Amino acid sequence: MKKWLALIALGVLLGCAKEMPQKPHYETNFGEECAADCEKDYSECLASNIRPDFLVMSTRKKACENYIRDCYQLCEKKEKQRSAAPNQ
């Protein structure tokens, strides 16, 4: 029983020690500003006492990590779309 508790405690500690997902390199100021907004939202997500829908089935940290990863991907996509659009 003690071994199981030790393994669970170790798993929790290793899970909590994970860093925030790595920010991609952006080519434009728009991409950098978008990523900064993602990081702000990530911090608010971790600090929040509210449990939004995306937290119901997972831990807060995991859900917030998924959120920032998706947010970074969306920033990359928006940056590419803005780069491809003709300047007006």
The answer to whether residue 72 is domain-embedded is yes
The one-letter amino acid at 17: A
The answer to whether residue 78 is domain-embedded is yes
Domains in the chain: how many in total?
A: 1
The answer to whether residue 61 is domain-embedded is yes
**Which sign does the torsion angle of CA 73, 18, 54, 57 carry?**
positive
Structure tokens at 8: 């669970």
pLDDT in tens, 50-82: 665 555 566 888 889 999 999 999 999 999 998
The answer to whether residue 17 is domain-embedded is no
The answer to whether residue 64 is domain-embedded is yes
Residue 75's domain comprises: 22-84
pTM as predicted = 0.65
pLDDT in tens, 6-63: 545 545 444 444 566 788 888 899 999 999 999 999 999 888 866 655 555 668 888 8
The answer to whether residue 79 is domain-embedded is yes
